[in-house]
Amino acid sequence: MNSFFANDIKKLNALYNRVQFSFIFLYGRYGTGKTSLIREFCRDKATLFFSAQETVPEGHLDAFYHQAARYLNSKKMPETFEDWEQAFSYISDCSFSRRLVVVLDEFQNLDRNCPGFMDAFTQAVHHDFQAGRVFLIVSSSSVDYAGELMAEPIPEPFDAITARAFLDVLPFSACQSFLSNYAPKDQLLLYGITGGFPSCTPRIQPKLSARQNILRLFFNADSPVFTAPLDTLHRELREISTYNFLLEIIASGCTKLTDIAARASVGTNKCAKYLSVLVSLGLIRKEFPAAGESVKKVRYQFTDHMTRFWYRFVSPNLSEILFGHGQQVYEQQVLPSLDEYLLPVFETVCSEYLERLAGTGQTPFVYKHTGAWWTGGTKREPFVRIPLVAMDDRQVVLGICHSAAKPADAELLDRLLMPIGTFGKLKRYCCIFSTSGFTDELRAAARKAGNVWLIDLDDICG
């Protein structure tokens, strides 16, 4: 697990080695590795770790007292903490003689459920902790809550944060150490199905085939990650049935607001409100075309491929899987659709690859971000989508991805070379990615056209 977070731990240690008080804020969805990062960092350091569960206010303070008694082992420990002011004052006193890491995990539960907690915490950050040698880490798995805290103007005491970090799913390159035993296409498949989650990717067992791992993780009711996406909704929302239904609709490939609302049989405005909640939870995101007029062309996409896989294949078949028919579900419903499922995964991996190339100076011009571009989709104008676009004022890279069993052919290059008004005045470079190689016709056409890159999955995995 340490390999995932080596750079983060190095930065935290640099702050830890300073004398003064430090306040670190870590946030991200469940499964993105916050607790693992904290555990790695705190190894061999004096630490008070407290994870706030959903309970009554008195329960929080009592649980915090017992954690303090267990971790600090001080002879001056009072018989109880009467309130949070006393608790934080005591913690500060314990830090006078040594650097003390104090971790308040799932902080939103303290803020939301404990009257008076935030006043005491604000006092501690601005005064008590400043007097001692506290290294404070606050973490939250509620993306919605963290987003409110980080919105300007940032409220007290979070305006005193020394450093903050949003932990997201990991890119393909960061997960390859867990996937290197597999053929390139199986690496892509396992990355997509585990979504780049540090809590899920290490569960892959290298001695098992890709198929066996998928069955064990997501088509087996005893798996610890079997209901992970569903658990996220249960933690954040009271009524999840509508949100579950909307996520299944999006997972099926329906991504426009009007189409989602029609499938769900709800009004467009009401549907938009539901989708905004899912965006705030970090489960889906709004995607806009990378260039040109985009306000009316928004589409909703999953923020990770594991959740998309779960709502596409697992959620609609929960009853069958729970009844022990997971293997049949996989064979009959998943296998025939794997190439279709893999295409967006491949597009994500290729986008990351293009950005890495630019970051190491291996592209004809510098760019920082790649995005998709699309237009049309009406009776008057056919739908056209280019999944990879990177540009500046004078040049553009247009890329397309191919994940079918047959090699990519010259028709893909024709699509990238066709006249497109949005990019008409820009010098054009074309990039074709393929999981199954390229036809001789395409290779010849690429040589003739110039400024065309052909990149296969072996290049990326290498």
CATH number, domain containing residue 70: 3.40.50.300
Domain count, the chain: 3
Domain range for 236 is 173-342
The last residue of a domain, from among 342, 359, 392:
342
Residues 300 and 367 in one domain: no
What does the alpha-carbon distance between residue 189 and residue 199 come to, in Å, rounded to a whole number? 17
Residues 183 and 313 in one domain: yes
Reading phi first (left if > 0) and then psi (alpha if -120 to 50, else beta), residue 28 is in left
Q: Which phi and psi angles does 96 have, rounded to 5°?
A: -65, -35
What does the alpha-carbon distance between residue 208 and residue 263 come to, in Å, rounded to a whole number? 39
Mean pLDDT of 439-452: 95
Name the pLDDT band for 53 (thresholds 50, 70, 90): confident
Separation in Å, CA 196 to CA 31, 276, 357, 433: 10, 24, 20, 21
Residues 334 and 203 in one domain: yes
Residues 6+ apart with CB under 8 A from 188: 172, 342, 345, 346, 349, 435, 457
With a cut of 80, say whether residue 20 has pLDDT above it: yes
- Spatial contact of 291 and 422, defined as CB atoms under 8 Å apart: yes
CATH of the domain at 250: 1.10.10.10
| Least confident span in 44-53, 63-72, 163-172, 294-303 | 294-303
With a cut of 50, say whether residue 241 has pLDDT above it: yes
Residues 278 and 324 in one domain: yes
Q: What is the pLDDT of residue 3?
A: 63
What does the alpha-carbon distance between residue 65 and residue 82 come to, in Å, rounded to a whole number? 10
Q: Which residues, in sequence order, are bridge partners of residue 137? A: 24, 103
What does the alpha-carbon distance between residue 219 and residue 321 come to, in Å, rounded to a whole number? 6
* Token pair 């072996």: residue: 458
Structure tokens of 13? 């240690």
Q: What is the pLDDT of residue 255?
A: 95
Residues 150 and 189 in one domain: no
With a cut of 80, say whether residue 4 has pLDDT above it: no
What does the alpha-carbon distance between residue 131 and residue 319 come to, in Å, rounded to a whole number? 57
pLDDT digits (tens, 9 = 90+) for 343-363: 999 999 999 999 999 999 999
pLDDT digits (tens, 9 = 90+) for 103-154: 999 999 999 989 899 999 999 999 999 998 999 999 999 999 999 999 889 9
The alpha helices in 20-140, defined as continuous H runs, are 34-42, 57-72, 84-94, 107-113, 117-123, 129-131
Give Cα 336 to chain centroid, integer Å.
27
Q: What is the pLDDT of residue 421?
A: 87
Residues 131 and 11 in one domain: yes
Residues 97 and 211 in one domain: no
If one compares 293 and 444, the residue with the highest pLDDT of the two is 444
- Spatial contact of 353 and 270, defined as CB atoms under 8 Å apart: no
What does the alpha-carbon distance between residue 140 and residue 368 come to, in Å, rounded to a whole number? 29
Residues 330 and 361 in one domain: no
Residues 62 and 77 in one domain: yes
Q: What is the pLDDT of residue 2?
A: 47
Mean of the per-residue pLDDT values of the chain:
93
pLDDT digits (tens, 9 = 90+) for 279-332: 999 999 999 999 876 667 899 999 999 999 999 999 999 999 999 999 999 999
Residues 85 and 141 in one domain: yes
- Spatial contact of 390 and 370, defined as CB atoms under 8 Å apart: yes
Percentage of the chain lying above the pLDDT 90 cut:
80
Residues 120 and 210 in one domain: no
Sign of CA dihedral 411, 413, 418, 421: positive
Name the pLDDT band for 1 (thresholds 50, 70, 90): very low
Residues 213 and 152 in one domain: no
Q: What is the pLDDT of residue 377?
A: 76
Separation in Å, CA 259 to CA 153, 210, 256, 305: 36, 34, 5, 21
The last residue of a domain, from among 289, 319, 342:
342
CATH of the domain at 407: 3.40.1350.10
The last residue of a domain, from among 166, 197, 231:
166
